[in-house]
Amino acid sequence: MFDRKLNGEFHHLRFMLFKFNGSFGIIIDLKGVEVLQKQDKYKTIYTNNIIGLFCQSFEPAIATILRESLTFFRINIKKGEVMARPSKLWGVLALSAVFWAGIITPISAQDLSDLTQIKPGRARAVTSADPDPNSNKDMIRFVSPGETKVLADIKGPAVIRHIWLTFNEARSNWLESTGSARPDEIVLRMYWDDGKQPAVETPIGDFFAAGFGLRREIRSVPVQVEGGDGYNCYWPMPFHKHGLITITNEGQKNIRSFYYHIDYTDEENLPEKTAYFCAQYRNEFPEKTGKDYLILDAEGQGHYVGTVMSVRSRSPFWFGEGDVKFYVDGDKKPTIQGTGTEDYFLMAWGLNESLFPYFGCTYMSTDFEDLGTQYCLYRWHIADAVRFTKSLRFEIEHKGWISADETESGKVEGHVERDDDMATVAFWYQVGQPKRFTTLPPLAQRLLPNLDVVIEGKMLLPNARHSPGLLELQKGYDWTGDGQVFFMPVDNKPILEVDFQVEKEEYRGLILRFTYADDYGIYRIFLDGKNVRQPADYMAGQKIADYDFYSPVIQVKDSYLGSFKLTPGKHTLRLECVGQNPMSKGKYLGLDSVRLRERWDKKRKLLS
């Protein structure tokens, strides 16, 4: 029994599925609504009122088909025959019985209830396993810079059901002392049937909802990444004659130890208009002012199923007031218009790192008011696919809040056009080969532009002064250049001072890149003798004066201390320990670098 609300009233939907003499049947009762009428020995619903109620009780893929069924079906399950005749009436429950009985087999992945019905087709897999049964070298050991490797070359008709893969990380490690190619340097391409151009073309990291070369965990319905290492994809990928999957190394280091396992089923046949799986990367570093950012421009028939977005803010404050706009089948005005960026990604009042089945934020580098905050976001339209019959154009505005130093009014404004760095992957299914509305930029154009004058650890160390303790240059991990300035104090009031040089007087953001770990302390920061802190924002006012560098896991993060026009010459940073987090094991300090970050030299107009 399912309880549902209809026209402001609560109704009880009761049904029973039964089998009698080899035939299946279904009995439906909706309290308060007359919906049953006997026809022969079958019972069928003849009202539209129940459709929404009933369909909500099903998995989204089945519910979609039920809602769209405008034909009444007479069903004889015993003989396995389906005879259709046009009608203005809805044969919703009859069609659902067809699915339950296994007469119609959808291509979509099985749910647990499907496992009781054996479906046609033969399970197969393409893997990186070594054909030598006595070998454990079950991987592509190296993919050299510039090299392309074929992962799968499969004869159809078939449907790829699952892809698992992993590869060595970019950091220095036991497999490679100099590290390996990053996820944004590995390009994934997929070709279906006679397609000369890829239907899927994206860096492998962005495909799995992590831009900027990051390896991040994700737990969602179609893709999952365990610990940033075990990559899994469950998007169904059908093709009639031929499926080809490749990876290309566009980096300067080897891809090392690439393992993969691609599961698919041979099919007897596929419907003629089976849709291809498509995914396309695009970026603008920075976004082009005067027009919305384009995510997808598709032609043909299909539906849109997901977005991955990676953003770096190039101005302080909140980037995400931009509305999404779907233009379906050539509509001049948005067919669907959203209410803000975080709203589209199904969050509210900002963003937070979170992982949900259909949406989430896999990475948020710092507070969302800071200069240079990075975000990685995903939104799957599995239950709410955006359907189109001729074309679909999908855009997003790039509007938001901005600090007073970039506005015409000289005040903080909440609705101005911004030009941040944005990269996206559009995911959709369509009948026929996809239109090439863009091509993958070369690696140099996919890397975030360097906006910083960087004074790294080895330049800060020689003239550093400190209270009793050990000060050294610590190499490795994610630290800049030759490593971070690592201070291990031995007294109760640690102090560290470092000098840096400014070559040219410019208005720039002051960024300190620190390490956070489980034995680090709380420090107060002074610039040329004056206490500096995170600048006030438009919502919370003045922020904290002290920085707690405790973290249960090691992290390297930027801290934005405001924007200044520093005079040429020497400047001094002083860091004074004021305590430690109760969870911390010590008062250590790690300063990776001092950064002077470029700011836009423009004054923006309030849009409304």
- The string of pLDDT tens digits covering residues 238-273 is 999 999 999 999 999 999 999 999 999 999 999 999
Q: How far apart are CA 376 and CA 574, in angstroms?
A: 33
DSSP letter at 157 equals: S
Whether 45 and 66 have beta carbons less than 8 Å apart is answered as no
φ and ψ at residue 115, rounded to 5 degrees: -70, -15
pLDDT confidence bin for 25, thresholds 50/70/90: very low
Q: What is the 3-state secondary structure (H, E, C) of 53-65?
A: HHHCCCCHHHHHH
For residue 58 the two structure tokens come to 């099903």
For residues 371-394, average pLDDT: 97
Q: How confident is the model at residue 536 (pLDDT cuts 50, 70, 90)?
A: low
Determine contact, residues 273/193, Cβ cutoff 8 Å. no
The pTM (predicted TM-score) of the whole model is 0.81
**Token pair of 142 as six digits:** 């190296």
Residue given tokens 């470029």 in the structure block: 598
C-alpha 490: how far from chain center: 44
Weakest mean pLDDT among 7-11, 205-209, 387-391: 7-11
Alpha-carbon dihedral sign for residues 426, 431, 437, 439: positive
Helix, coil or strand: residue 11: strand
Per-residue CA distances from 262 to 128, 217, 237, 481 (Å):
9, 20, 11, 38
Domains and CATH numbers, the chain: 2-104 (no CATH), 122-266 (2.60.120.1390), 276-446 (2.60.120.1390), 452-598 (2.60.120.260)
Nearest to 573 by CA among 473, 477, 502: 502
Here the tokens at position 223 are 């893709």
Query: d(Cα 229, Cα 166) in Å, to the nearest integer?
Result: 6
**In Å, what is the CA distance from 254 to each residue of 177, 202, 203, 304, 578?**
12, 19, 16, 35, 45
Distance of alpha carbon 9 from alpha carbon 324, whole angstroms:
34
3-state secondary structure of 417: strand
- CA atoms 598, 320, 537, 352: torsion sign: negative
Q: How many Å apart are CA 317 and CA 264, to the nearest integer? A: 46
pLDDT at 100 over 70: no
Average pLDDT for the chain: 85
81-to-68, 74, 103 alpha-carbon distances in Å: 21, 9, 8
Q: Where are the alpha helices (DSSP H) in 200-261?
A: 204-207
Q: pLDDT band at residue 199, thresholds of 50, 70 and 90?
A: very high
pLDDT digits (tens, 9 = 90+) for 292-336: 999 999 999 999 999 999 999 999 999 999 999 999 999 999 999
- The continuous run of DSSP H or E covering 500 comes out as strand 495-502
Q: What value does the mean pLDDT take over residues 80-105?
A: 37
Burial 65-92 (b: 16+ CB within 10 A, else e): bbbebeebbebebeeeebeeeeeeebbb
For residue 352, give every residue at least 6 positions away whose Cβ sits within 8 Å of its Cβ, in sequence order, or none.
361, 364
pLDDT of residue 297: 98
Q: What is the per-residue pLDDT for 537?
A: 58
Distance in angstroms (rounded) separating the CA atoms of residues 216 and 363: 7
Q: What are phi and psi of 602, to 5 degrees?
A: -155, 155
Q: Which residues pair with 37 in a beta bridge?
A: 44
Output DSSP code: residue 185.
G
- Residue 245: phi and psi, rounded to 5, are -125, 130
The encoded tokens of residue 143 equal 């993919």
Backbone phi, psi, residue 575, to 5°:
-120, 120
Whether omega before 286 lies within 30 degrees of 0, making that bond cis, reads: yes
Mean pLDDT value of segment 46-75: 37
Q: Which residue in 166, 147, 163 sits closest to 230, CA to CA?
A: 166
- R_g of the chain, CA atoms, integer Å: 29
With 0-12 CB in 10 A as exposed, 13-18 as middle and 19+ as buried, what is 346? middle
| 139: DSSP letter | S
Taking residues 384-410, report their average pLDDT: 96
Mean pLDDT for the stretch of residues 473-484: 94
Query: Pick from 216, 100, 179, 186: which is nearest to 477 by CA?
Result: 179
Strands 336-337 and 324-328: antiparallel
Tokens linked to 473: 């240059």
Q: What is the mean pLDDT of residues 181-196?
A: 97
First-last CA distance in the chain: 50
Give the tens place of pLDDT for each residue, 424-440.
Answer: 999 999 999 999 999 99
Task: Name the band, by pLDDT with cuts 50, 70 and 90, for residue 532.
Answer: confident
pLDDT score of 210 more than 50 = yes
pLDDT for 112 equals 83
| Predicted local distance difference test score (pLDDT) of residue 483 | 96
pLDDT for 491-516, tens place per residue?
999 999 999 999 999 999 999 999 99
